[in-house]
Structure 1
Amino acid sequence: MSSAQEHPDHLRRSLSNRHLQLIAIGGAIGTGLFMGSGKTISLAGPSILLVYLIIGVMLFFVMRAMGELLLSNLEYKSFIDFSTDLLGPWAGFFCGWTYWFCWIVTAIADVIAIASYAQFWFPGLMPWIPAVFCVLLLLALNLTAVRVFGELEFWFALIKIVAIIALIVTGFGMIAFGFQSPSGHHAALANLWNDGGLFPTGVGGFFAGFQIAVFAFVGIELVGTTAAETADPTRNLPKAINSIPIRIILFYVLALVVIMTVTPWRLVQPGRSPFVELFMLAGIPAAASLINFVVLTSATSSANSGIFSTSRMLYGLAEESHAPRGFARLSRAAVPSYGLLFSCVCLLAGAMLVYVVPNLVTAFTLVTTLSAVLFMFVWSLILIAYMAYRRKRPHLHATSSYKMPGGVVMCWVCLVFFAFVLWLLTLQADTRQALLASPVWFVVLAIGYVWKGRRAAAVTAPVREEG
């Protein structure tokens, strides 16, 4: 067997429409919905519904811009490729490495979360054991074939969907039968506006909801990293992106409506999962164990997505000479195995470091805020690349079968919105710390880019002299 047959030179289109739809859903439903929604409800009250809707609408336009760009040239494997092509090598370098770091940071939080969820059933278990086991298991499965990643995400996302639909059906059943809680409160839609109206905590509370809610949406762009491995992308990519608004309304808005109609918003405990509370009220004693299982699979799904996307980013960076060439080498299964191994080593190292931080809550706030800031940078680059595409390739836009609605105007609206969210992050001390730390990453990247340029110039100089 020849070397070319043993090691393919391109990624295979092994992800079906079924995989892509569930990957997109899994990316849109973060662990934050299950565990963080209690805190967002206590901050913003019923106005949190508007927060999720606004963020969802803005990110839908980002996804539509990304979709038109990826389909304008099927040689584009991810947003690294169109960023490099339309904005220059610096954009591909900054976008790819930032996205890689985004997922490493997010996956570190997920792995630590997995360790804490495992302790629910095994309280005496050392936390590093489930963390290491999870990473090694996901690494082994991802090394086999991209189809395995697709199957894992399919089932992980399905568990999340079933849990949310069960919550919505149970909640509406409780409303229909006039359920009364032990505290004497009746389940009714009027609970959404009877206690202080839609904005009971004022504009300040409404704005505070954005800080946490943005992190719940990170990973929504994951469908863009699967472009090179998607069968029939011209048909399947638009279907996955177009279903985003339905998912946001169903999974976020309806779930939160149900929670706040069964339990008045003031009674929602910020430190507890409102999903567990609702199932407990419905008389399901195993609710805590069930939701713990759902959240465990949700965190594992996110870590799995992180391992997948970081390896594909390193592959794309190596293809553009932004990373060591070894990361572009594919295994027999057409998987970027060196990128997978490197990302998993970084993930484990990061997870071990967090265990030495005295206050884990502080660490998690810093990690999630930093992640949200960096994801917004990537989303903004996608929009800027789209505006460059409209300027440089008007003929491709004119013939596109998947035009972004609103075009350049909506790009500016989304960019202003991201700037507004960054300003909101300056209002709280803990989120402000992470925001102030984020420029350090870009300074490191700038130094790396300059060093790479000088190294490339030093290699080509002797060739010019010989010529």
Structure 2
Amino acid sequence: MNGHSGTSSGKDGRLGRRAAESLDARREDAFDDVVARKDPEGLRKGLTTRHIQMIAFGGAIGTGLFYGSAAGIKLAGPSLLLAYALGGIVIFFVVRAMGEMSVHRPSSGSFSRYANDYWSPRAGFVAGWNYWFNYIAVAMAELTVVGQYVQYWFPSVPAWASAAAVLLVITAVNLVGVKAFGEFEFWFSAIKVAAVVGMIVLGLYVIAAGVNSNPHLPNPSFGHLFGDGFLAKGVTGLLASLVFVMFSFGGIELIGITAGEAENPQRSIPKAVNQVVYRILIFYIGALTIVMAVVPWRQINGKLSPFVQIFDSVGISVAAHVLNFVVLTAALSVYNSGLYSNGRVLYSLARQGNAPKAFMRLSRRGIPYAGVLFSSMVTAVAVAVIYFLPETAFSILMAMALGSSIISWVMILLTHRAFRKRIGSGVADLAFKLPGGLASNGVALACLIGVFILMAFNPDYRTSVAVMPIWLFILFAAYEGKKRSSRPGMPADRVQESRS
């Protein structure tokens, strides 16, 4: 009798939880519908599958591939290819987890909105402001070096003038409309993709034809990958390169930010997310395989970009000019994406009640102009101030940016776990699931924790490890301060709805 009673109460409990989950889901859907009706000037769905596909391509290719890859090769030798394969699997799990949530409920606030709704307002605050700061720091760094790229051609142009011009142009693009952003990012990404594809094609030609214009180097051959052993720097070198590899994927989570403004997120987001693996194989593993086949990896000293060495080997004397154009484009792409992302993140934070209501303001074209302008102004001030700060201050800011990338990925995975728990039995009905579910989520989390531990053993990343707890403490303290200064109750968007 007692056993039957326990079973019955257990069933009742499960049914009660499912009913509550279903009711919560209906309330969320109803709320979104009401906001859409009350706010006809909302974010516009102007990003096509073509835009999102190329934005995803561009998110996987940064200046690190063109310049920073030499540092990775020095760390690990040919085993860097294995590090990219392993890191690619982890990143695939991260973006696939975010894709699962984005397809289920598209939102331009992406994982910040999901963290707020499925985990807690505190998590939404931390996720959103951490991600906003990450792109501010990255944008600051990119604008700082834009001047160097321009001075390569025009030495008399002040670096600040180039940075100011780029800031004004990209800000204007982001204020015009989401389609303008999408078109600019499409062509920025297309240039980067074309550069990598061109290098791979030229490299294959060099290898097949045995072209060698440098008498001090052996003829190109895939044998260079195994001449000193694939694990030439040992397991230690492989592990050391994993940290470098993971940070080269920074920005790929931008796919999720685009979901709220995608014309057909149920089609475009899964397609873009699933191609992450192919992009990594082609644009990182493929390109670096060609690089180390044309130029023996021990001959890559970092003084020249490996890509310049590829072009030089076939007698293309303008190789350095080509690369300078590509990395300038890559820097513009990063700032364009960062400003787009930050405007939407601030808009989402304001709707959650985790940022000033002013950031909820939209233009007639559905652009969160307040967030875009504020982010642009903060970046401008940061770039101006950085000229007067000592090098150590800049290093600390960049260390915080590196740490915030890891925090963002961890927050995505933890939010995904909360999302799965929240929807309960609704997992079976998800249209786009993370393969392996929570097991894959756990593997990715463990790997990211492992990367954090590896950072502590690398002198180049110890500052990041030191500032991450401090940065998290600042975010938590800011949330507690915000909570005490505002009246308890509904988030800003729901407060507005209750008043209308």
- Counterpart in the other structure of 2:298: 266
Question: Which residue does the alignment assign to 1:27?
Answer: 59
Distance in 2 of aligned mates of 1:459 and 1:242: 39
Match of 1:293 in 2: 325
Q: Distance in 2 between matches of 1:209 and 1:75?
A: 34
Aligned residue in 2 for 1:212: 244
Query: Structure 2 CA distance, aligned partners of 1:77 and 1:347?
Result: 20
Choose which of 61, 66, 70 in structure 1 pairs with 2:93: 61
In structure 2, the residue matched to 1:408 is 438
2:46 corresponding residue in structure 1: 14
Structure 1 partner of 2:211: 179
Superposed, which structure 2 residues align to 1:106-255 within 5 Å?
A: 106-180=138-212, 181-194=214-227, 196-255=228-287
Partner SS for 1:393: helix
Give the letter for the 1:193 counterpart: F
**Structure 1 residue matching 2:407: 3-state secondary structure:** helix
Deviates more, 1:107-116 or 1:140-149: 107-116
1:141/1:302 Cα in 2 relative to 1: closer, same or farther (>3 Å)?
same
Superposed CA offset, 1:5-47 (max 9, x none):
9x95410100000000011111111110011001111111001
Give yes or no for the alignment of 1:314 onto 2:346.
Answer: yes
Instruction: Provide the rounded CA distance (Å) in 1 between the counterparts of 2:244 and 2:156.
Output: 31
Q: Deviations over 1:111-137 (max 9, x none)?
A: 112111111111222111111111111
Q: What is the CA–CA distance in structure 2 between the aligned matches of 1:288 and 1:152, rounded to whole Å? A: 24
Query: Aligned AA for 2:264?
Result: D
- The CA distance in 1 between the partners of 2:235 and 2:400, in whole Å, is 24
Q: Answer yes or no: is the 8 Å Cα contact 2:402–2:464 preserved in 1.
A: no
Q: Rg bigger for which structure?
A: 2
Q: Which residue of 2 aligns with 1:425?
A: 455
The answer as to whether partners of 1:106 and 1:367 remain within 8 angstroms in 2 is no
1:167 shift after superposition: 0.4
TM-aligned CA deviation for residue 369 of structure 1: 4.1
Cα distance in 2 for residues equivalent to 1:76 and 1:42: 39
TM-score (norm 1): 0.93
* Aligned mates of 2:136, 2:303 — CA distance in 1: 26
How far 1:406 moved relative to its partner? 0.9
In structure 1, the partner of 2:470 is 440
Displacement of 1:184: 3.7
The amino acid that maps onto 1:211 is V
CA distance in 2, matches of 1:353, 1:204: 39
Question: 1:414 corresponds to which letter in structure 2?
Answer: A
Cα distance change on mapping 1:342 and 1:308 into 2, 3 Å:
same
Instruction: Check whether the contact 1:44–1:208 (CA below 8 A) recurs between aligned residues.
Output: yes
Distance in structure 2 (CA, Å) of the matches to 1:355 and 1:208: 32
Query: Residues 62 and 164 (structure 1 numbering): CA distance in 2 closer, same or farther, change over 3 Å?
Result: same
CA positional deviation for 1:56: 1.1
Could you say if the C-alpha distance between residues 34 and 365 of structure 1 is closer, same or farther in structure 2, counting changes exceeding 3 Å?
A: farther
Distance in 2 between residues matched to 1:357 and 1:55, nearest whole Å:
34
The partner residue of 1:393 within 415, 423, 428 is: 423
Residue 217 of structure 2 contacts residue 295 of structure 2 at CA under 8 Å; is this kept in 1? no
Q: Which residue number in structure 1 is paired with residue 288 of structure 2?
A: 256
Given the two structures, how large is their TM-score scaled by the length of structure 2? 0.87
Match of 2:400 in 1: 370
Residue 46, structure 1, aligned to residue 86, structure 2: no
Does structure 2 retain, via aligned residues, the 8 Å contact 1:211–1:424?
yes
Relative to structure 1, the CA distance from residue 458 to residue 25 in structure 2 (aligned partners, 3 Å threshold; closer, same or farther) is closer
Q: 1:86 to 1:458 in 2, by over 3 A?
A: closer
Cα gap change, 1:252 to 1:280, in 2 (>3 Å): same
Deviations 1:251-282 (A, max 9, x none): 00010000000000000122321111110111
Contact 1:315 1:328 in 2 (8 A): yes
Q: For residues 295-334 of structure 1, give each alpha carbon's deviation from its aligned partner in whole angstroms, at most 9, with x where no partner exists.
A: 0000110011111101110000001010000101101121
Per-residue deviation, residues 206-260 of structure 1 (Å, max 9, x unmatched):
2221232222110000011111100011111101111111111010001000000
For residues 423-458 of structure 1, the C-alpha deviation after alignment (integer angstroms, 9 at most, x for no partner) is: 111112331012212222222211211111112237
The one of 384, 394, 402 aligned to 1:352:
384
Structure 1 counterpart SS, 2:486: helix
State the shift of 1:76 in Å.
Answer: 7.1
Change (3 A) 1:216 1:184: closer
Which residue among 360, 382, 399 is the counterpart of 1:328? 360
Q: CA RMSD in A?
A: 1.9
**Within 2, Cα distance between the matches of 1:355 and 1:48?**
35
- Unaligned 5+ segments in structure 1 are 461-467
For residue 455 of structure 2, what is the amino acid of its counterpart?
L
Cα separation, 1, equivalents of 2:292 and 2:377: 42
Instruction: Tell me the amino acid that sits aligned with residue 303 of structure 2.
Output: G
